[in-house]
Amino acid sequence: MSQVQSIVQSVSGRAVPLIGNDIDTDRIIPARFLRCVTFDGLGAQVFADDRSQLSGQHAFDQPQYQGAEILVVNRNFGCGSSREHAPQAIAKWGIKALVGESFAEIFLGNCLAMGIPCVTAASDALQTLQDWIAAHPAAAITLDLEAMQVRFGDSCIPVSMGEGARNMFLGGTWDACGQLVAQGAAIQQTAAKLPYVSWSR
C-alpha cells in the first residue's frame, strides 16, 4: 500500500449517533460470530444482539442512518475483548471514522492499525453533536485531522487524538507493518541484547 493512498487528512460523510457508555466488544460483535477464519461477512452481524432486541430501533437499523460513515459514541467505547472483529464489523458496515468521549485502549490500537481514525471530544460537545445529527441525519459532517475539529452545520467542536496516531494518519503510515519489517537489523540488535533471547531453553 503506497503512502499517498494511506494518508487520512479528513473524513466527510453522514453520521450515526450511538448513545451509551461502556459499549463492549461482545455487544459490537457477539462471540459466536468469531467462529470464522476471515473477516468477511461481519458487517451484517455488527451489534447483532442489541439490534435484534431493539427490533428495528437500533441506530444501525434506522433508515435515516443507512449509509452513514462516521460513528459518534460516548464513553469507553469498545471495552473488553481484543477482538479486531469488532472494528472490522463496524468498518464493513460502512464506518470510516469514530468520534467519542473515550475509547478502550486495545480497540483504539486496532482501529489505528486498520486506518480508522478515532478522535475524542468533551462529553457536552458530543451530546451537542449527537443531538444535531439526530435532527439532521441527511447532512454530512467532517472530521478534520489537520484542524482537529468536527464540523457540522455552522458549528464545530474541537477533538483530540494521540500525537503518534495523528502523525500516522496524516503521514499515511498507519499501516506500520512495512516500516516495522524494514528495521530488520535494528530488531536483531535489540534481540541480541536481551539476556533471555540467548538462554539455552
Partner 1 sequence: MSKGTLFDKVWDLHKVGTLPSGQTQLFIGLHLIHEVTSPQAFAMLRERGLSVMFPERTVATVDHIVPTENQARPFADAMAEEMMQAIEQNTQTNGITFHDIGSGNQGVVHVIAPEQGLTQPGMTIACGDSHTSTHGAFGAIAFGIGTSQVRDVLASQTLALSKLKVRRVEVNGSLMPGVYAKDVVLHIIRKLGVTGGVGYAYEFAGSTFEQMSMEERMTVCNMAIEGGARCGYINPDQVTFDYLQGRDFAPQADEWEQAVAWWTSLRSDADAEYDGLVVFNAAEIAPTVTWGITPGQGIAVTETVPTPDSLTAEDRELAGEAYKYMDLAPGQPIQGTQIDVCFIGSCTNGRISDLREAAKVAKGRHVVAGIKAFVVPGSERVKQQAEAEGLDKIFEAAGFEWREAGCSMCLAMNPDKLQGRQISASSSNRNFKGRQGSSSGRTLLMSPAMVAAAAVTGKVTDVREML
* Sites of contact with partner 1 (CB under 8 A): 20-22, 24, 26-27, 30-32, 34-39, 49-50, 52-53, 75-76, 79-85, 87-88, 102, 104-106, 109-110, 113-114, 162-165, 167-168, 171, 173, 176-177, 179-181, 183-184, 186-187, 189-191, 193-197, 199-201
Question: Which residue blocks in the chain are alpha helix, DSSP H?
Answer: 3-6, 25-28, 48-53, 85-93, 105-114, 123-135, 163-170, 177-181, 184-193, 195-198
Closer to partner 1 by CB, 135 or 185: give it. Answer: 185
Closer to partner 1 by CB, 71 or 111: give it. Answer: 111
To partner 1, the closest distance from the beta carbon of 135 in angstroms equals 22
Q: Rounded CA gap, 178 and 182, in Å?
A: 6
Confirm if 152 and 133 have CB atoms less than 8 A apart.
yes
Closer to partner 1 by CB, 56 or 63: give it. Answer: 56
Closer to partner 1 by CB, 154 or 199: give it. Answer: 199
To partner 1, the closest distance from the beta carbon of 32 in angstroms equals 6
Distance of CA 139 to the CA centre of its chain: 21
To partner 1, the closest distance from the beta carbon of 133 in angstroms equals 20
Nearest C-alpha neighbor of 1 from the set 164, 168, 117, 185: 168
Closer to partner 1 by CB, 66 or 188: give it. Answer: 188
Chain position carrying cell 435515516:
64
To partner 1, the closest distance from the beta carbon of 8 in angstroms equals 13
Q: Rounded CA gap, 109 and 89, in Å?
A: 15
Q: Kindly report the CA angle at 66 between 60 and 71, in degrees rounded to 5?
A: 60
To partner 1, the closest distance from the beta carbon of 182 in angstroms equals 9
